[in-house]
Each structure stands twice: as C-alpha cells, then as structure tokens.
Structure 1
Amino acid sequence: MTAPRWRLVLNGKSAGDDALRAAVAAMRARGITLDVRVTWEGGDAERYVAEAIQEGVDVIIAAGGDGTLSEVATTLAHREEAADALPSLGLVPMGTANDFATAAALPTQPLSAFELIQARPPHLVDLLRLDAHGTPHWAANLASGGFGTQVTIETHEGLKKLLGGLAYFITGISKLGRIEPISARIEGPEFSWEGAFIALGIGNGRQAGGGQALCPDARIDDGLLDLTIVPELSGEVAATFGTMLTEGKHAALDRVAIRAQLPRIEIEAPQPFVLNLDGEPVTSTRFHIECVPRRLRMHLPADCPMLGDS
C-alpha cells in the first residue's frame, strides 16, 4: 500500500514553531510522506501547489491564517481540473485571528489538526469569487467592507504578534469615533438595497477581523453567499452600543443588520472603497461577487458548524 503523500505549505512567519515541527515529525513516524514548503514572497504558494499537483500529492495543507488558507485555495481554484481531480485541502491554524478555523471548529494544535486530516474524508466546499476591473479574486472565508475592514488593515503587525486577536479589538475601539459610512447600491436576485453602510460582510465563512461574526449563519456547502449590511446608524448608535455592552456584540448586530442569502451580488458605489478578502484588499467602485459551489475538497470536523449536514 502506497503511503499517503502530504505537502505542507507553511507561512514563513511560523517557520520556527516548535509544536508544528514536532507534529510533522510525529506524522512522518506514522507513515505519512509529509514534505514542507515555506512561503517567503508572492507567488510561492502558487508554485508549491503546482509542484505538488505535478508530483501526485494527495493532500495540500495550508499552515497559517486566513490569508494563507485563501492563497492556497485560490491557487487550487484557478486550476482547470474538477475538485475531485485536485488534492484535498487541509488547514493548520497558525495566524493571528484564525477566523475561518474558529468558525469551522478546527483544532488549534498542529498535531490535532494533522490527525483530523488523517481521520476525516474531505468534504466538497464552496468558494467566494470577486471580480473587480476584470480581475478575479478568490476567498475561502469572507469579503468585508467598512468599519471591520479598516480595523483589519490598520492593525499593526507588531501588535498582532503581541496581542493576537485582542489587537483587532484595541484598533477597533480607537476608530469608534471616526466611522465614515460608505454609500453604495447592493443588488442580487430578488434583492436590492441602496444607502450608506458602516460595515458589510459577504460570507462564504462566518467571521473576519479577529472574531467579527458578520455572517453568523453562513455555510460553506450551500451554494449561497450570506450578505450582512450594517447601515449608517445615526441616532441609534448609543442604543446599539448599549446593547453590545449588556447583551453582547451578536445581539447588537442582529438589532440593526440587513441580511440575505444570495448566489451572487453586485455592488456599485460613487466613490472607490475597499473590500477585504481574507487579508487581500481590493479597491473599486464596482464589484461582482459570486459563490462557486463545490469547488474544493476540504478536511473538516464531523461537527463543523459551517456544514449543511452538521
């Protein structure tokens, strides 16, 4: 029987992690052929994935945060092969916030993450594809705009390393007094909204920006995007943030959010604004976003909350 062949694509920021090194050694001792490739600059993940496919690797594992996951998933999604003809995808969460992994209930320890990949067959999952200026961009997790996006972009890398997900909260608090609404028209099948928003979430996954659950009901295998619009709050700001303090941020979001589930979404704005795709900022006045169903096979827990049969 041929030993399983795995390829670990590791974000260079985590290359010295002792727990990951020990987990790699443990899986090799169990008969897994596990090779490691470390990303250093743009294009590395694409090259490593192409190499792995050419060499007949069974599983490609992204080791890093949401950006690393999307970088590997994007490279697989660009391929002409169908999902069943591509290596399956695994994730070892090693980022600052690990939003996708948290929402999917993936193990946080490297060895447990490897054991999940070994034990669980892959599940077909959707991806999010965004087109702006004729250029396609892919994401495994979530596209966000407005307040949460600015928090993510403006949080200093040194603060992330020191405080982890708490860094996003500190940056967010510092911005509360200067939230600038974004005007836009947002449309989809049997859905239309126009106005000013302070936060926007378009979810294949559920959360971004260090725990902001903008799309709390999103599933990654239903062929739909979960849209959440938080409109300009005007006089409701005090009441909303009072709710946040007494009942929690999810209750505050539920109080003001406009939500829909759509296979595709069109956004048009009078001024350019930024959508953040798992760490990749894309600036435009027009966005076309769609769900690409069953594009990849991914190893997930049996009780993953984001699966339709969970």
Structure 2
Amino acid sequence: MAKQRPRARLIYNPTSGKEIMRNVLADVLDILEQGGLETSCHMTKNIAGDATRAAAEAANEGFDYVIAAGGDGTVSEVVNGLASASRRPVLGIIPAGTSNDLAKSLNIPRDIKAACKQIVKFQTVPLDIGEADGRYFVNIAGCGRLTEITYEVPSKLKTMLGQLAYYVKGLEKLPMLRPIHIEVEARNFAYSGKAMLCLIANSNTVGGFEKLAPKARLDDGLLDVIIVKQVSLPHLIRLATAALRGEHIASDRVVYYQTDCLRVHSVDHVDLNFDGEYGGPLPRTFKACKHHLKVLI
C-alpha cells in the first residue's frame, strides 16, 4: 500500500501585492504536488478574518502543513488561526505581498517559484509569536499615528504602487503627527510619558526597515520594544534615515529594550496596529510565545 502523502492547505490572497498569485497559482500547485504534498486551496475572500477561519479549520481537520500565500496581513491572519489550535500544522510562507517582512527575516526567497521549491525541502525552524490578550502577531504590534499608515492604505493603491503606497500615505500624514501619552510596565523596565510611537517587534524587519529592531530574533523568546520620544518633525525624519542603517537606537530620543512580557496603557484613546491591521485600543498586555509554531524556511 502506497504511503499517504502529507496534506497541505494553501491559503492564498488573490489581491496581495500586485495580484501575482492569480497568475502563478497553477505553477505553485504543480511545484507543491511534485514535491510530495497533497495540496488543496482556499482563496481568501474580502472578509476580515477569513484566512484565520480557514487556517483554524485546516488545523482541526488534521492538515500537516498550512501555507500562507500573500503579504504580512495574510500571514498574520493564518498564524492567528493556527496559534490556538491544540495540534498546530507547520507553517509555510509564499511571499506575495507588498512588504513581506516575516519572509525577509526568515530569508525566504522573494521569487514565488523559488519559495515553493524551498518549501518542499521540508526544512523547519521554531518560530516565536507575540500575543496580546488573545490576539497574535508575528512581526509587530505598535501604536502612534505613524503605525496607522499600513491599515489606511487602500488595497488598490498597494496593487498599483506596491511599497511606494506606504511612503505616499506617510508623507500625507506627516503634518498631522502628534505625540501620544503611554505608560509601559515590564519586569525589567518602565516608561511614562509622551511618545511619537511605540513598537513591539518580534522580527528585525518591520515595514520594509530591515534593521528597525536590530537585536530581534525569531526564536529567542523575547519582544523588542522601541519607543520614540516626543521629537520635532525634522528630528523624526533624521531618526527614520538612521533606522535604515540600524543606528537609531543610539539616539537619546529612542528607548530600546527586550522583554518577554509588558503592559501598555494610556490615559488617551490610543489604537493599536497588529502586523499592518487595525488591532483595537489600548490597554493590552503583550507576551512572547517562545517556539509556538514551526515554520518552513
């Protein structure tokens, strides 16, 4: 009797990036099938949480692998569907989005077919994820007006302009930037005061900045916290330039530390961003879930 092949559920977003998955889906399925995976598909609908529900169903149905094809938002939704399952399938990633931050951190090829060929080598590493009162994230949780850019950029604009769409939206928001008041409490740190933004990173690559959290690792059981204190607009632009080189953490206007658990709250109404999607208001307690998933690299 022939040995049963491992089952994979491909969850793909047809509108991610420049809608590339629409054109390469047949090639993707062929590579996965030829590589030994019995693969079925779920095309995400334009409904919040659809990829999360599809991933949870795949976990409950006993799939061995769940492969997220799309951008960071699609990957994050899939992770949220897998994270609370009693038996968690191995995560695969096909980077078909605009930024693909997690894929960059894992050195997954940007080329779709190359990423598929890497998947069927079945090499895995443990993956930490962040958790905030039942909501999971793989790259970043953050607050501050700049963090609102990612979920305010229309999908059609991202399809047309790619990464440039975020910069266009960022320039639009610059004149409206105002500091927020935050209170941060952790076992090894506390901060109280005004800030331009507060980022809680799981990976070193955030929003296309590959050195924003230069000490971050995806398997160390720690979250990297970056707080930019109140600064003038020209100073903020200089810090953004320094962040391209990972040199921003040397500034006295930047607080950078690592912890496995922290609580953030505010006297103001402050909204959160989870992996580029709206995440509701503060307060929240954040913690690192060490080696919570396995991911194909």
Aligned pair partner of 2:55 in 49, 57, 64: 49
Report 1:221-236 matches (<5 A): 221-234=219-232
Give yes or no for the alignment of 1:238 onto 2:234. yes
2:24 matched residue in structure 1 = 19
1:260 matched residue in structure 2 = 257
**More deviation in 238-247 or 56-65?**
238-247
What is the one-letter code of the residue matched to 2:114? Answer: S
CA shift in 2, pair 1:107/1:248, >3 Å: closer
Whole-Å Cα distance in 2 between the matches of residues 224 and 45 of structure 1?
26
CA shift in 2, pair 1:242/1:281, >3 Å: closer
1:296 matched residue in structure 2 = 293
Alignment check: 8 A CA contact 2:35 2:120 kept: no
Whole-Å Cα distance in 2 between the matches of residues 232 and 90 of structure 1?
39
2:186 matched residue in structure 1 = 188
Give yes or no for the alignment of 1:162 onto 2:167. no
Aligned pair partner of 1:3 in 2, 5, 12: 5
Q: Provide TM-score, normalisation by structure 2.
A: 0.88
- Unaligned 5+ segments in structure 1 are 301-310
Whole-Å Cα distance in 2 between the matches of residues 195 and 217 of structure 1?
24
**More deviation in 86-95 or 204-213?**
204-213
SS of the aligned residue for 1:176 comes to: helix
What is the one-letter code of the residue matched to 1:118? Answer: V
Q: CA deviation at 1:18?
A: 1.8
Deviation per CA, 1:109-153: give whole Å up to 9, x if none: 22211222221422221111112xxxx211111102114312223
Alignment check: 8 A CA contact 2:132 2:284 kept: yes
Whole-Å Cα distance in 1 between the matches of residues 243 and 261 of structure 2?
33
Aligned pair partner of 1:150 in 148, 151, 158: 148
Deviation per CA, 1:12-50: give whole Å up to 9, x if none: 424852223212123323443111111113453344334
CA shift in 2, pair 1:61/1:177, >3 Å: same
2:200 matched residue in structure 1 = 202
1:303 matched residue in structure 2 = none
Give yes or no for the alignment of 1:128 onto 2:130. yes
Whole-Å Cα distance in 1 between the matches of residues 81 and 178 of structure 2?
34
Whole-Å Cα distance in 2 between the matches of residues 16 and 91 of structure 1?
13
Alignment check: 8 A CA contact 1:125 1:295 kept: yes
SS of the aligned residue for 2:114 comes to: helix
Report 1:107-126 matches (<5 A): 107-126=109-128
What is the one-letter code of the residue matched to 1:275? Answer: L
Aligned pair partner of 1:94 in 79, 96, 100: 96
Cα RMSD for the two superposed structures:
2.4
What is the one-letter code of the residue matched to 1:230? Answer: V
Give yes or no for the alignment of 1:103 onto 2:109. no
2:64 matched residue in structure 1 = 58
Aligned pair partner of 2:276 in 279, 283, 290: 279
1:28 matched residue in structure 2 = 33
- Unaligned 5+ segments in structure 2 are none
1:174 matched residue in structure 2 = 172
Alignment check: 8 A CA contact 1:202 1:228 kept: yes
Alignment check: 8 A CA contact 2:129 2:289 kept: yes
Whole-Å Cα distance in 1 between the matches of residues 247 and 234 of structure 2?
14
Alignment check: 8 A CA contact 2:52 2:79 kept: no
Q: Provide TM-score, normalisation by structure 1.
A: 0.85
Alignment check: 8 A CA contact 1:188 1:265 kept: yes
Aligned pair partner of 2:80 in 49, 74, 96: 74
Whole-Å Cα distance in 2 between the matches of residues 249 and 178 of structure 1?
26
Deviation per CA, 1:62-100: give whole Å up to 9, x if none: 111111111111111111x2xxx4210010011122122
Report 1:212-223 matches (<5 A): 213-223=211-221
Q: CA deviation at 1:170?
A: 1.8
Q: CA deviation at 1:252?
A: 4.3
SS of the aligned residue for 1:271 comes to: coil
